[in-house]
Structure 1
Amino acid sequence: MDATKEAQIKAHALALAELLYDETDPEQVKTLAGIEVAVRDHPLEYVGPEIGKFFICTSSGTSSGRKRHIQSIVGRLSLSQRQSQRLKVKARTQWSPQVETCCLLLSANEAYARAADDIAVLTGVCVSGSTQQRLVHRQDLEPPAVDSGVKEMSLDGGKVRLRTPQGQPCQWRDYKGVNLHQCSISAFYKDNDSLVNWLNQQPLAHPLVCLGDGHDGIWNLFSQIGHRSERLEILDWYHLMENLGNVGGSQQRLDAVEACLWQGDVDGAVRLFDDWSHERVDQFIGYLAKHRLRIVNYSYYQAEGISIGSGAVESTIKQIGRRVKISGAQWKEDNVPQVLRHRCAYLNGQFSS
């Protein structure tokens, strides 16, 4: 901006400031916080809509068509039908795209009622909690497609609390979370087919590292992704150590077993239990036999920069849980899939642009 225009803006701003100051409650300008609110709210009511009107008319090149009003972060704006089409404003909405984005960002992190309070503090725009919820549920939040090749993925399960009639015990139901390492995350509720279809639509690398704990449901899902010859299935090292710790007994023996498993030596680990017969030992040996092909040389893979733990997806489940498991939260079952997609869209950064 050249110096002449900058000087004109300062002169006009000063004139506006004098006019608006006269309309401000004297008590409000006794604190800086009060001045901040006044300087924000006056433009929202008087200045922003006029500037917005000029920008809209000039940019769209038209003013024809039926008028409607929408609430925006620069104030209440009037748009014609033709202007709305050219500026890509959704039909039948009273909120601007940027207000919707602000609402989606806040409501992805906290309760709708709290998001309504926060949006008013942050932007000066009032959007009720029920409207926050409607905005979320009318969004098209399908899991995003991944551009780059997916080299690693991990799966895990989380829980969500369903709303039950008053007086009845709460019900917790499982959902599946998936993390395409450094690419994307997603979550699916009672829809394993969609999860598998979405994963198979992504550009999967060969080999594809698949990380999971010892749950059968996780490996059943992995078995439907790509081809067996292309998957490198790895049992989560930390889950393996958790099961070893449950055996108990001599710490010296446990350390020796851990050293064998770290090198992928399942037979050596089993031999270390030859002189000890116990139910916990039998369970652990059965566990090793079940996942034998998934117990790799962890030392080598770690040195090669390949993940050996499913911490990425466990972190994903925790981050999703910060929204769906906030204190007192209960969800209608029909709303759960959209709530999960909304939270994942936020975690994927889909609202940041």
Structure 2
Amino acid sequence: MEAHIDEIPKKKRVFLCDGATWIWNRVEDSYQDSVQIVDYFHAKEHLSDVVSPILTKQEKSGWLKGQEAHLFQDDVQAVIKELNRLKKIQPKQEDLLEREINYFTKHEHRMQYGSFRKKGYLIGSGPIESAHRKVIQQRLKLSGQRWTMAGLQAMVTLRVAYLSGEWPLLIDLIKKAS
């Protein structure tokens, strides 16, 4: 992947990932000047998991909406304050809450969802994962197939052209090149 990433101009590099430490260590080591975004739905899942043993289903829904509002206002500190508040009133959940406080503190700069959306960045990896399944896996993981890097790249290019409606343009280019 690094060869492909290196072809992207530095100003346009965006990494949208979950909170796995090894991923962010690699991004930090190799692409410090990139835009880095923690997948919004992973962040939301962290919040949901942390309050599940603390709040009722109805309380949880309202609480999550409040935290989502903070995240979309780039106010991760408000989320962290709320987790600290819960830690004080729920001592049995202290370890769990402390882990989540550390998670949100560590990734605060990657959770500026309001700003990211204003700049036109995706904040969730769902569309990318779906495109990967539809464009790449559906065609390239058929039984018995083996691919060289060159063959794989050629097939991906053809799949993208076909599925994006650019097939006629590709055919015209091929005809002109012949």
Normalised by the size of structure 2, how large is the TM-score?
0.65
- 1:315 counterpart residue number: 130
Structure 2: which amino acid aligns with 1:222? V
1:245 to 44, 48, 51: 48
Residue 38 of structure 2 is aligned to residue 235 of structure 1 = yes
Give the 3-state SS of the residue equivalent to 2:161 in structure 1. coil
Give the 3-state SS of the residue equivalent to 1:241 in structure 2. helix
| Superposed counterparts of 1:97-246, under 5 Å | 195-202=1-8, 204-206=9-11, 208-223=13-28, 225-226=30-31, 228=32, 230-246=33-49
2:104 to 250, 263, 288: 288
Identity between Structure 1 and Structure 2 (%): 25
Conserved? CA contact 2:80–2:105, under 8 Å: no
Structure 2: which amino acid aligns with 1:306? Y
- 2:159 counterpart residue number: 347
Report the structure, 1 or 2, having the larger strand content. Answer: 1
Residue 64 of structure 2 is aligned to residue 254 of structure 1 = yes
Q: Distance in 2 between matches of 1:240 and 1:337?
A: 37
- 2:77 counterpart residue number: 267
- Write the deviation string for residues 34-54 of structure 1: whole angstroms up to 9, x where unpaired: xxxxxxxxxxxxxxxxxxxxx
- 2:174 counterpart residue number: none
Task: Name the CA shift for 1:242/1:301 in 2 (closer, same or farther; >3 Å).
Answer: same
Report the structure, 1 or 2, having the larger helix content. Answer: 2
Q: Distance in 2 between matches of 1:313 and 1:224?
A: 24
Q: Distance in 2 between matches of 1:243 and 1:264?
A: 17
List gaps (5 residues or longer) in structure 2.
172-178
Q: Distance in 1 between matches of 2:131 and 2:25?
A: 20
Higher relative contact order (CA 8 A, sep 6+): 2
Conserved? CA contact 1:261–1:295, under 8 Å: yes
Give the 3-state SS of the residue equivalent to 1:223 in structure 2. helix
Residue 118 of structure 2 is aligned to residue 303 of structure 1 = yes
RMSD over aligned Cα atoms: 3.0
- 305-314 or 264-273: bigger deviation: 305-314
Deviation of the 1:312 alpha carbon: 4.0
Task: Name the CA shift for 1:232/1:260 in 2 (closer, same or farther; >3 Å).
Answer: same
Deviation of the 1:325 alpha carbon: 4.7
Task: Name the CA shift for 1:337/1:212 in 2 (closer, same or farther; >3 Å).
Answer: farther
Normalised by the size of structure 1, how large is the TM-score?
0.36
* Matched residue count: 150
Structure 2: which amino acid aligns with 1:299? G
Residue 82 of structure 2 is aligned to residue 276 of structure 1 = no
- Write the deviation string for residues 165-196 of structure 1: whole angstroms up to 9, x where unpaired: xxxxxxxxxxxxxxxxxxxxxxxxxxxxxx21
Give the 3-state SS of the residue equivalent to 2:11 in structure 1. strand
Give the 3-state SS of the residue equivalent to 2:36 in structure 1. strand
Conserved? CA contact 2:117–2:123, under 8 Å: yes
Deviation of the 1:242 alpha carbon: 2.2
Deviation of the 1:213 alpha carbon: 1.8
Structure 1: which amino acid aligns with 2:70? C
Give the number of the structure whose alpha-carbon radius of gyration is greater: 1
Give the 3-state SS of the residue equivalent to 1:210 in structure 2. strand
Q: Distance in 1 between matches of 2:148 and 2:119?
A: 37
Structure 2: which amino acid aligns with 1:285? I
Task: Name the CA shift for 1:238/1:207 in 2 (closer, same or farther; >3 Å).
Answer: same
Q: Distance in 2 between matches of 1:210 and 1:197?
A: 15
Deviation of the 1:269 alpha carbon: 0.6
List gaps (5 residues or longer) in structure 1.
1-194
Deviation of the 1:287 alpha carbon: 1.9
